[in-house]
Structure 1
């Protein structure tokens, strides 16, 4: 996302959403296709969180899951509708801070509990209960090995699904467009490193502790077994917390659940709101709408999305879905748009037809592979067989990679080379549509001014002095540039002539562009480094006939816990330090405003 964000700033400096880029290059049909893909990704990503939350609340407290499903998004609607993207930024930070504190608390509390006995005690208990916890597909059936076929399958499915959640979520693109590039690239890359602290330490300690204790009297399900349905619904953690920490631990767990749910739901609401208000309402229903009315529409779409997502979550609950099944479904429905979206910024040869058909064909390819594999291996297609790892992985691979093949083949069928200068006309087009002529304020070339402005400036377009009017004309429809992809035209007489691309200049000066390309290289280097480490250099040497020894396990878990503290420092402490001057300025402003207000009241 860091690499995509920088390239978007370089090639489409005036863009505000990823869908706006699609609309500019591929026209109305391509725009609608990617609107559907983005909405689907957001709906299922958000619904999976609400579904999981309601099932956890039902499983722990006994509250009706319908009531829990309705209550979860209710509070989020209020601050999201009022605060918008700013509220999402603030709540993301605050909720993540609280969540990380609780994650560290749970990890250390469970590990140091007398029933576990620290790192050595946990290792001894896992070894002692190895006969009860034999894992088919693992080396010698052990939990203490990295040689696990099912773990690799699950991990790859998770990678595909999480990649789709980010790239196909307009909220991540909005955050890239709304921030300076020197904050975007470090921000996403710090997150890429910090995120390991959450599943690694928490999963290792709590997962293995539950395995060691689930057949003992202190476990809530004893003497009954911990069923697959309970595991797939996410009940392992609350059961273990209840057993070792008690009711106060459950309260902390519900706080953690609330922090995760509200942050995710708020981000989803902002993304869907921007799509429905800007990409649908403003584009196709009322192009000349005012900013004030557009804000009002966005508030209504937040409420609509909350109602809709609640209904979807309830329906999936009644349909028997759980977080595991949705996690296996999500890559298949969300991945087809990733490569075509990336090629929009990186390959000028992708045609309109390719961009429209490749994600659609990719989705049906992945779906067919998923269902056919489940039928072939397990003899039936149902919630159980489609929840197995192999069909879901094959479906995710087909859904992710096949659009690349389709895009290349379709593009080569009728080649067309897109001129990147077209992207610089986004603001010109909007000005012409709204006012009939481009607006021409003073020249600005720094990134901040471009990011904040919503009208074109002289650095984008050099207009002859005798320009008196403007109009629009369509590009060649054969190559897929539809109604939106129109170019400004100038005329001193009754006839109009199309503005040459040679007269369209990039708004950033050479120094700024050089800096942007430097950040792009940094983003790609870090991307390759992280993938190389996490996919090859770290796990592959451990994928052998090896069971962790006690010293190795102690070191492994210790590093995982240290990583949690590192994540807390990177995500909570460092932003406060980095933004200390802005925070101080804001605090002084609030203080001075408050003093003036109180003085006025006294007078």
Structure 2
């Protein structure tokens, strides 16, 4: 075996590099975000320090390109890059595909929730809450009572807590793995810079950091992809990679895959993993996604989510395919220059590949990207949890008539408090031995524990937001029964397959499938059955009257108190006359939609058909075609374009890689170039303001 071997389990950088990035880059990034926030405040009409609406919802003014960029950033956690590469090692190229396809269609499905919060006339499906800041506010305004509101809040905050635990623990473990930096120090130092710029800039600063993070992510994707398939001395082309993968299949075959091959979609475990991804429901219960729906313009909210879903696809697909297959190819046999990565250390595939392809600079580049992934997602969670604390706890239960200044002050308290909680939570998980692998499900992302927890809320929340017929008792029962059944199925499967319930057995793929599917389907059956058999008849005029900064009047307070534990009732006819007045601006913030409701309804219908169509293509049609050949060939692009070749052995590894590159270029344009183009007017205004101040200074 070659002496120039990579020990993937050992840190490839010094602890000084870790401290330098966490401290230096963290604070430097905070200073940059503070500078951008200062410029925005001075040269635009938006000031996060003067308006709670701007602080928590970016004045509901963000355009689709920036929304799409923010969605990609929010979905690209540190675990996304690490675990997507891991499933490539474990399942071959089927792992990244299922990861990408399942996650992307979930994001696009969320577009309907975004538009549901915007349409303000009585049109099917007749929902609107233009002034809502959280999905829990809509549930609260439905007058489902305190028990229902607190139950959904428990799952909403619980989902954020699980995701935050993955953020900090995963970020700290990654920094430690790459540099040897003290894990406890990383747990506390990582949130510092995030809290600083989030505290000052609010949600708009989060979107700015999202954009920078997305630019770095796509730079890394292109760098590792071109190195693997074009420039690397050992690899350098799809043809060479393919040949080495066949050698690797002989020496280190994939379990439960056709011929042990890395170039096949016939992987049983890979398919099970795909199902786990598709039934995971953390998107619906994660307030960060709702926050982006709140911040978007009504006329472009669907566009932002559809573009975001399409643009996210190459992140786990292209990156993991390039990094994972590169590491497999570079360690294909005894004469290869690098040692093979064992399944026990499968989580280091991404950093090992970056180091093997690009040297220490590659490891540094990945570390920067992972750090930005942690800080960007942490910033989004800070604003999300702060919004829940402010609007669903403080304003609803303690100070219903809170002024704008009081709301803003509570938002700041929420950011600081949850920031401290992030660090403490990371230390607790580290001390009790809960690692990133367990949190992510032993080789997977947040699909097992968070999925089991959050999947129970998908249908109850969806019905509450979308349907006037949603039954309070059915949705509440579905939430808790689904969650209970999911936990029971998860633990019972762990006991049945592993013989014990411990950290190792609870993270297996079949255990995840049982837990996620149990929560998802039982909750769906209970909530939908009760809604169908005993439908309510809620008038969404209540939610349409829920506008920014509008305190509850005495009639609403009295009615809410009387109906707290009863089914919702239609509003009197005279309240409907207030709709036009309620749609006006509040405290200088535009609450009225910027598009006619008929147009918004057409957007809703379009998003439904697009989501269904893309799901069918990505998760059914394409995999069905890709499993026709038992093991893929090296087919070139021109051969693959012949339809008959699809039914032969020529599955087309080369064509697959070319397609991944093309999709990556499209996604990079959407989330890197397009946001700049659509904001060219604001950027020009900012530049003119700076030049004007410089001229006055002289």
Same fold (TM over 0.5): yes
Counterpart secondary structure, 1:303: helix
Residue in 1 that maps onto 2:209: 91
Tell me, in whole angstroms, the C-alpha distance in 2 between the residues paired with 1:132 and 1:314. Answer: 40
Tell me, yes or no, if the aligned pair for 2:118 and 2:593 is still in contact at 8 Å: no
Residue in 1 that maps onto 2:133: 16
Q: Do residues 137 (structure 1) and 256 (structure 2) align?
A: yes
Among residues 538, 558, 566, which one is paired with 2:666 in the alignment?
566
Counterpart secondary structure, 2:114: helix
Tell me, in whole angstroms, the C-alpha distance in 2 between the residues paired with 1:68 and 1:512. Answer: 49
Q: Do residues 152 (structure 1) and 271 (structure 2) align?
A: yes
Tell me, yes or no, if the aligned pair for 1:219 and 1:239 is still in contact at 8 Å: no
Among residues 417, 422, 425, which one is paired with 1:304 in the alignment?
417
Tell me, yes or no, if the aligned pair for 2:298 and 2:595 is still in contact at 8 Å: no
Q: How far has the Cα of 1:147 moved from its partner?
A: 0.8
Among residues 397, 404, 407, which one is paired with 2:524 in the alignment?
404
Change (3 A) 1:428 1:8: closer
Among residues 278, 282, 293, which one is paired with 1:176 in the alignment?
293
Q: How far has the Cα of 1:65 moved from its partner?
A: 1.5
Residue in 1 that maps onto 2:188: 70
Tell me, in whole angstroms, the C-alpha distance in 2 between the residues paired with 1:428 and 1:273. Answer: 16
Any idea what the Cα deviations from partners look like across 1:4-57, whole Å, max 9, x if unmatched? 111221222332221110101123222211211111111212321322222221
Q: Flag structure 1 segments of 5+ consecutive residues without an equivalent.
A: 439-469, 488-497
Counterpart secondary structure, 2:249: coil
Q: How far has the Cα of 1:226 moved from its partner?
A: 2.9
Tell me, in whole angstroms, the C-alpha distance in 2 between the residues paired with 1:241 and 1:346. Answer: 44
Among residues 286, 297, 304, which one is paired with 1:187 in the alignment?
304
TM-score (norm 1): 0.84
Change (3 A) 1:93 1:230: same
Counterpart secondary structure, 1:166: helix
Equivalent residue runs for 1:433-472 within 5 Å: 433=553
Q: How far has the Cα of 1:535 moved from its partner?
A: 1.1
Change (3 A) 1:593 1:539: same
Q: How far has the Cα of 1:594 moved from its partner?
A: 4.8
Tell me, yes or no, if the aligned pair for 1:166 and 1:172 is still in contact at 8 Å: yes
Change (3 A) 1:242 1:219: farther
Tell me, in whole angstroms, the C-alpha distance in 1 between the residues paired with 2:164 and 2:518. Answer: 24
> Greater shift after overlay, 423-432 or 302-311?
423-432
Q: Flag structure 2 segments of 5+ consecutive residues without an equivalent.
A: 1-109, 120-126, 584-591, 636-651
Count matched residues.
545
Tell me, yes or no, if the aligned pair for 2:191 and 2:378 is still in contact at 8 Å: yes
Equivalent residue runs for 1:491-530 within 5 Å: 500-505=574-579, 507=583, 512-530=596-614
Tell me, yes or no, if the aligned pair for 2:318 and 2:664 is still in contact at 8 Å: yes
Residue in 1 that maps onto 2:55: none
Among residues 613, 633, 657, which one is paired with 1:549 in the alignment?
633
Tell me, in whole angstroms, the C-alpha distance in 1 between the residues paired with 2:355 and 2:370. Answer: 15
Change (3 A) 1:337 1:595: farther
Change (3 A) 1:427 1:84: closer
Q: How far has the Cα of 1:134 moved from its partner?
A: 0.7
Tell me, yes or no, if the aligned pair for 1:21 and 1:423 is still in contact at 8 Å: yes
Change (3 A) 1:24 1:94: same
Residue in 1 that maps onto 2:427: 314
Tell me, in whole angstroms, the C-alpha distance in 2 between the residues paired with 1:565 and 1:558. Answer: 11
Counterpart secondary structure, 1:550: coil
Residue in 2 that maps onto 1:492: none
Tell me, yes or no, if the aligned pair for 2:404 and 2:549 is still in contact at 8 Å: no
Tell me, yes or no, if the aligned pair for 1:218 and 1:243 is still in contact at 8 Å: no
Residue in 1 that maps onto 2:112: 3
Q: How far has the Cα of 1:501 moved from its partner?
A: 4.9
Any idea what the Cα deviations from partners look like across 1:111-134, whole Å, max 9, x if unmatched? 321122321111111112222221
Tell me, in whole angstroms, the C-alpha distance in 1 between the residues paired with 2:117 and 2:459. Answer: 15
Tell me, yes or no, if the aligned pair for 2:299 and 2:594 is still in contact at 8 Å: no
Tell me, yes or no, if the aligned pair for 1:362 and 1:402 is still in contact at 8 Å: yes
Any idea what the Cα deviations from partners look like across 1:407-464, whole Å, max 9, x if unmatched? 134446755321222323334995344xx589xxxxxxxxxxxxxxxxxxxxxxxxxx
Residue in 1 that maps onto 2:472: 352
Tell me, in whole angstroms, the C-alpha distance in 1 between the residues paired with 2:614 and 2:179. Answer: 40
Counterpart secondary structure, 2:250: coil
Change (3 A) 1:114 1:292: same
Any idea what the Cα deviations from partners look like across 1:526-559, whole Å, max 9, x if unmatched? 1111111111111112224421111211121122
Change (3 A) 1:479 1:416: farther
Tell me, yes or no, if the aligned pair for 2:227 and 2:236 is still in contact at 8 Å: no
Among residues 22, 25, 34, which one is paired with 2:152 in the alignment?
34
Q: How far has the Cα of 1:275 moved from its partner?
A: 0.7
Q: How far has the Cα of 1:502 moved from its partner?
A: 5.0
Q: How far has the Cα of 1:306 moved from its partner?
A: 1.8
Change (3 A) 1:45 1:429: closer
Residue in 1 that maps onto 2:235: 116
Tell me, in whole angstroms, the C-alpha distance in 1 between the residues paired with 2:336 and 2:189. Answer: 32
Q: Do residues 227 (structure 1) and 342 (structure 2) align?
A: yes
Q: How far has the Cα of 1:319 moved from its partner?
A: 2.4
Residue in 2 that maps onto 1:246: 359
- Which of structures 1 and 2 has the bigger CA Rg? 1
Tell me, yes or no, if the aligned pair for 2:162 and 2:450 is still in contact at 8 Å: yes
Tell me, yes or no, if the aligned pair for 1:96 and 1:259 is still in contact at 8 Å: no
Residue in 1 that maps onto 2:566: 479
TM-score (norm 2): 0.73
> Greater shift after overlay, 169-178 or 56-65?
169-178
Q: How far has the Cα of 1:486 moved from its partner?
A: 11
Equivalent residue runs for 1:252-331 within 5 Å: 252-317=365-430, 318-323=432-437, 324-325=440-441, 326-331=446-451
Change (3 A) 1:257 1:411: same
Tell me, in whole angstroms, the C-alpha distance in 2 between the residues paired with 1:48 and 1:314. Answer: 12
Tell me, yes or no, if the aligned pair for 2:165 and 2:426 is still in contact at 8 Å: yes
Tell me, yes or no, if the aligned pair for 1:340 and 1:404 is still in contact at 8 Å: yes
Counterpart secondary structure, 2:484: helix
Change (3 A) 1:6 1:178: same
Counterpart secondary structure, 2:545: helix
Residue in 1 that maps onto 2:177: 59
Tell me, in whole angstroms, the C-alpha distance in 2 between the residues paired with 1:282 and 1:509. Answer: 24
